[in-house]
Amino acid sequence: MSNEIAILGAGMHPWGKWGHNFVEYGVAAAREAMADAGIPWKDVTFVSGGATIRCGYPGFVAGSTFAQALGWQGAEVNTSYAACASGSQALAAARNKILSGECEVALVVGADTTPKGFLAPAGGYRPEDPDWVRFYLGITNPTYFALYARRRMDVYGDTLDDFAAVKVKNSLVGSKNPRARYRKCFTAEDVAASAMVADPLRLMDICATSDGGAALIVSSLEYARKMGKGDAPRVAAISTVTPTFASSVVEMPDIATDSAAAAGVDAHAYRSTIPLKAYEEAGIGPQDIDLAEVYDLSTALELDWIEDLQLAPRGEAAALLRAGDTALGGKIPVNVSGGLACFGEAVPAQALSQVCELTWQLREQAGDRQVQGAKVGITANQGLFGHGSSVIIKR
């Protein structure tokens, strides 16, 4: 019994700071995905949207908003919110609908418009809100990623040069991606000259927020075969597991971790548990992976993800990087889309954009970014409040 579904089409609106309504980006991405699949809008019977919390009521009901924008045609809708994993959760909803036999072709779509500057909490005196507490005490988003980065330096011996090398690698390959927002090839000197934000992370180590949209057309394998697309890339696994008590890594927006001292349980690092279910579900292991798209909110975090995906032993991702193994043409290329370093984060679209990149790679349509012979790819991301996902695509 296969849990697989086919990816018939992929589409994206280029990332940027365009200042338009998010619906425009989602519709553009959806239309590109439908054209890519050769599927007319009226054949789509399920629309699964990733919610945006920054765009008012239409953002909360994104599935319906996109269905209306494309022209009501009676399709059922769903909206998923799971922070950075929203796109994967929307994809999982479409997969469930297809595998249950209720739907043959589904559109999965996410899009966002993001404001400038710090995302600040509501005011007043609200100590029951962890987000309010941390801002009041002076702990902003970059703090968390800087803590993870510094720990790598002190525990594994990673250097500032390693972190800069991630940016240089991703900007080089991202410069070849017409959908990326930042397409300049940055040097290690550029990174070193950028302002320190949260030691050891400089401005160019940290990803921006962007506008963008991404969409997929997915179907049952039977439907794909009927269309003559039996060899289309397939979704082999979707993991959207939550953490397991006790969580050992301090996560945004919390001020403290769980305590494992009394309960007789081990502490777990959530990020490393996310891919485990994906590997198990796909029946493959890290040795089978040809390329990975990971959530590089910071340069150093890309190195953490490489180890969380077990593509390198703990503490050895920087060695892989230094050997050129994670670059295009290396043994296990990571973020050949250019990653968040070149895109900036558009929350409900980002997890889907990772799957779009893998789809094009597995179809050998990635042009100058093509990973030769890519058959199996994995994505990974993590967001607030115990949301994270990992998706495996194979052909």
Partner 1 sequence: MSGKPLVPAIEGWHTMEAKPHLIGTQCEVCGTFFFPKQNHFCKNPNCESTDFREVELSRTGQIWSYTNACYKPPPPFVAKEPFEPYAIAAVQLEDEKMVVLGQLVEGLSVADLKVGMPMELVLEELHETDEDIKVTWKWQPLAS
Chain positions 144 to 173 lying near partner 1, rule: CB under 8 A, are: 146-151, 154-155
Q: SS3 for 169? A: helix
Residue 267 interacts with partner 1 (CB under 8 A): yes or no = yes
Residue 143 interacts with partner 1 (CB under 8 A): yes or no = yes
What letter represents residue 217's amino acid?
Answer: I
**Which CB, 1 or 261, lies closer to partner 1?**
261
**Which CB, 68 or 140, lies closer to partner 1?**
140
Which span sits near partner 1 by CB under 8 A: 58-66, 75-83, 118-126, 371-379? 118-126
Task: Work out how close the CB of 136 gets to partner 1 at its nearest, in angstroms, rounded to a whole number.
Answer: 4
**Which CB, 118 or 385, lies closer to partner 1?**
118
| Structural contact between residues 207 and 340, judged by C-beta atoms closer than 8 angstroms | yes
Residue 127 interacts with partner 1 (CB under 8 A): yes or no = yes
Chain positions 32 to 71 lying near partner 1, rule: CB under 8 A, are: none
**Which CB, 185 or 196, lies closer to partner 1?**
196
Residue 198 interacts with partner 1 (CB under 8 A): yes or no = yes
Task: Work out how close the CB of 318 gets to partner 1 at its nearest, in angstroms, rounded to a whole number.
Answer: 16
Residue 303 interacts with partner 1 (CB under 8 A): yes or no = no
**Which CB, 37 or 303, lies closer to partner 1?**
303
Chain positions 224 to 243 lying near partner 1, rule: CB under 8 A, are: none
Half-sphere exposure of 357 (CA within 13 A, CB side): 36
The residues pairing with 6 across neighbouring beta strands, listed in sequence order, are 219, 234
**CA dist., res. 350 & res. 85, Å (int):** 8
| Structural contact between residues 218 and 105, judged by C-beta atoms closer than 8 angstroms | yes
Residue 185 interacts with partner 1 (CB under 8 A): yes or no = no
What is the β-pairing status of strands 388-394 and 234-239?
A: antiparallel
Question: What are the Cα distances from residue 297, in Å, to 84, 163, 180, 228, 350?
Answer: 11, 12, 15, 39, 11
What letter represents residue 62's amino acid?
Answer: A
Residue 263 interacts with partner 1 (CB under 8 A): yes or no = yes
Residue 197 interacts with partner 1 (CB under 8 A): yes or no = yes
**Which CB, 209 or 220, lies closer to partner 1?**
209
72 burial (CB, 10 Å; 0-12 / 13-18 / 19+) is exposed
Q: Which helix H or strand E contains 337, and what residues bound it?
A: none
Name the DSSP class of 346: -
Indicate which single residue of 245, 280, 331, 365 sits in contact with partner 1 (rule: CB under 8 A): 245
The residues pairing with 211 across neighbouring beta strands, listed in sequence order, are 16
| Structural contact between residues 325 and 332, judged by C-beta atoms closer than 8 angstroms | yes
- Sequence-distant (6+) residues with CB within 8 A of 24 are 13, 111, 213
Residue 115 interacts with partner 1 (CB under 8 A): yes or no = no
Which span sits near partner 1 by CB under 8 A: 13-21, 185-193, 226-234, 249-257? 249-257
Interacting residues toward partner 1 by CB under 8 A = 117-118, 120-121, 123-124, 127, 130, 132-140, 142-143, 146-151, 154-155, 195-201, 245-246, 248-250, 255-263, 265, 267
